[in-house]
Structure 1
Amino acid sequence: MQDNDENNSINNSSAGGLRGIAGLVSFSTILPLNIHTSIEEMARFTWFWPVIGGFIGILAGAFGFFLLNMVQIPQIIAAALIYSFMIWFNGFHHLDGLMDFGDGMMVHGTPEKKISVMRDTRIGTGGMAYFVMVALVTFAGLTSAPAALILPVIIVAEVAAKMGIVTCASFSEAFPDGTGRFFIESMNKKLLLLSLVLSSAIGFLALNLTGVIGVIGGFLGGALIATVARRNFKWATGDILGTSNEIGRMLSLILMAWILLV
C-alpha cells in the first residue's frame, strides 16, 4: 500500500511538472496548448524559461533563415519582419511590460505611485519612448548580424531574453500583489546558477563562445533592470520582468553583432 502511495506521488509530481512546463510555454507564446494549470505550478519552473526561449528562438530563427538565405530579401526588411515575428509569437506580453515600465519611469514620487502608473492600462509618452528606443536598437542588432548565422544568433537572443527574466527575478523583491510575485518568489541563487549553466550550454552549442557571451548579455540585462527597479520602484512586478526580457534580448544582440563583425 505504501509503495502504491509513493508511486502515485511520483506520478502526480511528474504530471505536475509537465503541466507546469507546458503551461509556461503557453504563457510565453501564442500557442493554444489549452493546459489546465496554475501560475504557482508554472512559476516552479521559472529557472527553465531560457530553454523555452531556445524553442522560440528556433522558430524565429528558422523564419529569419528562410527570409535571408532562401527568399533572399534585403536584410533591413528581413530584420523588421523577424523582430515583428518575435514579439508577436511572444504574445506581446513582454513588450507590454516594457511600455508600462517606461510610463512608470517617467513618474516622480513614491514607489507606490510609480507602480500605480505602471499598472495603469493607458500608455503614455514614456512607454512609447522606451518601446521605440529598445525596438530600434534590437532592429539594428538583427540588421547587423551575419545573414549566414541568423538562425543561431536568434536562438541565443531568445535564450538570453528569458535569462534576463530569470536574473531579474533572482535579484528582485516581489511586489505583494500580482502574478509576477510567483515567478520572483520561486527563484534563488542556486536555481539562477542552474539556469545560467543551461543557457550557456545552449549558447555554446548554437554559436560557440559568441553564444555564451550573448547569454551573458541577457544576464546583464536582467541584473540591470533589477537594479533600476530597486532604485525606482523598490519592488518588482510582472511588467518589470517583461522589461528584462526585451532588454536582455537587445543587449545579447548588441554583444553578438559587435563580436561577429569585429
Structure 2
Amino acid sequence: MGLIDRWIGALRGGLGFLTRLPVGYRDGDWTAFRTTPAAFPVVGFVAGTLAALPLLAVGTLAAPTVALGYLLSVYAVTGIHHLDGIADLGDALVVHGDAERRREVLKDTTTGVGALLAVAIAIVALSLGGFGLAGLSVRAAVGVAIGAEVGTKLGMAAMACFGRAAYDGMGKEFTDAAAPGSFLPPLAIAVAAVAGVGTALARPLPVGVALAGAVAGLALPWYWADRYLGGINGDIFGAANEIGRVAGVHLGVIAWTLS
C-alpha cells in the first residue's frame, strides 16, 4: 500500500470509527487507522467543523436553541457509542474492589447507577458548554468548538502513542501499533489546524485554549485508568473523548470571556 493510499485508508477508517459519516469501508482501513495516529486530529477537524454548523445561528436564534442544536449536531456527527465508555467508566468509578474487579465492571453489560449518573453529567456538561458557546460571537463559538474537537482527538492520539493497555482488546490494538515518536505528526497537524482556524476567525487565544483544555481534560480518565485499572482500554478511549470535548469547550469559553 502506497503512502497516499495508506493515508486515505487511515482517514476512512478514522471517520468510520469516530464518526457516523457515511464514508464506506475497505479492507485494511482499520489497520491503516490504528497505525496512523496523525489521522486522529484530521478526523477531529472534520467532525468539529460539521458539529459547529448550528453555531452559525449565534445571535440569530435564542441561546438555548443554539445550544440544543450544537448538542444534537455533535452526536449526529460523532454518534453515541463513545458514551458507552462514559457509562462503563461511571460504574467502574463507584464499584468497590481492586483493579481486577473494576476491569470486570468495565466489561459488564449491566447498566448501574454510576453509569446513569456519568452519562447524565456528560450530557448536561456539554449542553451547558453549548449554552456558553451561544453567548460568544459566531467566530469565537465556531473556533472553540473546532479547537475542542481537534484537541480531544489529539488526546486520543497521545493515549495511543504513550499509553499502556490494561489487557487485550481494542485499546491494546492502538497502543501496540503506535510509539512515542509517532505523536509528533498528530501534534504538528493539530497545532497547525488550530492556528489556522484561530487566525482565520480572528480568535486564536480561545481556540488554542480549547485545544489544550481538551487534551488536559482527557488526561484525567487516563491517569485514573493507569492508577486503578493498570492501563487503558477501549472504554477509556471513548470516555476520554467525551470528557476532553467538554473540558475543551468550557475552557475555550472561559478564555474568550476573560480575554
What TM-score results when the alignment is normalised by the length of structure 1? 0.87
Shift of 1:13: 4.7
User: Is residue 105 of structure 2 the alignment partner of residue 117 of structure 1?
Assistant: yes
User: Is residue 120 of structure 2 the alignment partner of residue 93 of structure 1?
Assistant: no
Please name the residue that 2:201 is paired with: none
Shift of 1:47: 3.0
In structure 2, how many angstroms separate the alpha carbons of the residues matched to 1:170 and 1:134? 26
Aligned length, in residue pairs: 249
Shift of 1:108: 1.6
CA RMSD after TM alignment? 1.9
Please name the residue that 2:228 is paired with: 232
Please name the residue that 1:82 is paired with: 70
4+ runs of 1 displaced by more than 3 Å?
11-14
Please name the residue that 1:52 is paired with: 43
In structure 2, how many angstroms separate the alpha carbons of the residues matched to 1:26 and 1:191? 22
- Report if aligned partners of 2:149, 2:211 keep a CA contact under 8 Å in 1: no
In structure 2, how many angstroms separate the alpha carbons of the residues matched to 1:160 and 1:112? 31
In structure 2, how many angstroms separate the alpha carbons of the residues matched to 1:35 and 1:105? 35
Q: Which has the greater radius of gyration? A: 1
In structure 1, how many angstroms separate the alpha carbons of the residues matched to 2:225 and 2:62? 38
- Report if aligned partners of 1:95, 1:242 keep a CA contact under 8 Å in 2: yes
What TM-score results when the alignment is normalised by the length of structure 2? 0.88
- Report if aligned partners of 1:200, 1:211 keep a CA contact under 8 Å in 2: no
Structure 2 unaligned segments of length 5 or more: list them. 199-203
**Structure 2 residue corresponding to 1:30, chosen from 16, 20, 23:** 20
- Report if aligned partners of 1:168, 1:225 keep a CA contact under 8 Å in 2: no
**Structure 1 residue corresponding to 2:238, chosen from 227, 242, 258:** 242
Give the share of equivalent positions with the same residue, in percent: 26
Deviations 1:96-143 (A, max 9, x none): 111111111111222222112112222211111112222222222221
In structure 2, how many angstroms separate the alpha carbons of the residues matched to 1:170 and 1:105? 25
- Report if aligned partners of 2:54, 2:66 keep a CA contact under 8 Å in 1: no
Q: 1:151 to 1:97 in 2, by over 3 A?
A: same
Please name the residue that 1:7 is paired with: none
Please name the residue that 1:6 is paired with: none
Please name the residue that 2:213 is paired with: 217
In structure 2, how many angstroms separate the alpha carbons of the residues matched to 1:124 and 1:243? 16
Please name the residue that 1:63 is paired with: 54
